[in-house]
Structure 1
């Protein structure tokens, strides 16, 4: 006869399984709601959270090329964000949705902390914190996190370097006249 009072820990009961599934579903739903609420774009425009993430990424990736003067730097970054918005609107809808989700993930504290290890908001982070966040994503053992880094870095670089007004900042004189 089997003693039902002794349960082996490796054989979970159905109720335990259902409770665990409900808890995981609730956490997933909450994170999904946060990502939707703090999404990166809405109606073809960058949201406040999307601008904050892209501003931080821009500072971390191309910041050393920007002028030291705060007013000039801010003007260039604002122009870059406007150019990035136009660039994103020119992408296929599928890519816009994916970039929107990535910006939403990085705009929320819980998912930003999981992906980058950075607790501060993008706009409040120091240059060292931004660099460390990108390095964490770049060297992460999970391929999806490394891919997130590559996509966002490519997005910032493509929209920055495709703007001919930024070429003098990088030392590029422009195309050679033939």
Structure 2
């Protein structure tokens, strides 16, 4: 005589914490939808579109300039804004001359920084870039620089390098830094 199937089944497998196929599929779909939503937002807020900085890109790079080279900027608000505008205008050709692969990566980083959710995750900055005070920007960049995750520290190094390279490479900014320029030989 054959034992009923219910007696032969191993009931240890039916533990409530054991994931089941439907649970796994639902979880995978939820994670995929969340990832696609964040990816769409990052793409929507990317730094450059058709060779020009987007409004989001300008906001992010303006805040980066204030955070990284702020003490060297003029104190007069009108002159300060003129220098920041010139910096952003000088940034576009620099980014356009990067290899295509790097342009895509910089766009992704700026998209992450422009999106509210991922900005908070990367920097801890509770407000948007245009509303942030210099003290909030300093705290956000310090958070990125000291973060335990290598991805946050790498993001900090990339955006700081781009900002500083474009700012200090512009000879119009040399007088702001105290550098007299190359010596004539």
TM-score of the pair, normalised by structure 1: 0.96
User: 2: distance between equivalents of 1:72 and 1:22?
Assistant: 52
* Residue 98 (str. 1) matches residue 109 (str. 2): no
* Residue 89 (str. 1) matches residue 119 (str. 2): no
Q: What is the CA distance between 1:3 and its match in structure 2?
A: 3.7
* Residue 147 (str. 1) matches residue 154 (str. 2): yes
Taking the TM superposition and a 5 Å limit, the aligned residue runs for 1:55-66 are 55-66=62-73
Q: What is the CA distance between 1:5 and its match in structure 2?
A: 9.7
User: 1: distance between equivalents of 2:100 and 2:66?
Assistant: 27
User: 2: distance between equivalents of 1:59 and 1:124?
Assistant: 12
Q: How many residues align?
A: 177
Quick one: which of 77, 80, 89 aligns to 1:70? 77
Stretches of structure 2 that go unaligned for 5 or more consecutive residues are 1-6
Q: What is the CA distance between 1:138 and its match in structure 2?
A: 0.5
Residue 176 of structure 1: aligned partner = 183
* Residue 7 (str. 1) matches residue 18 (str. 2): no
Describe the shift of the 1:70–1:12 C-alpha distance in structure 2 as closer, same or farther (beyond 3 A): same
Runs of 4+ residues deviating >6 angstroms: none
Taking the TM superposition and a 5 Å limit, the aligned residue runs for 1:25-174 are 25-174=32-181
Root-mean-square deviation (CA, aligned residues, Å) is 1.3
Bigger Rg, which one: 2
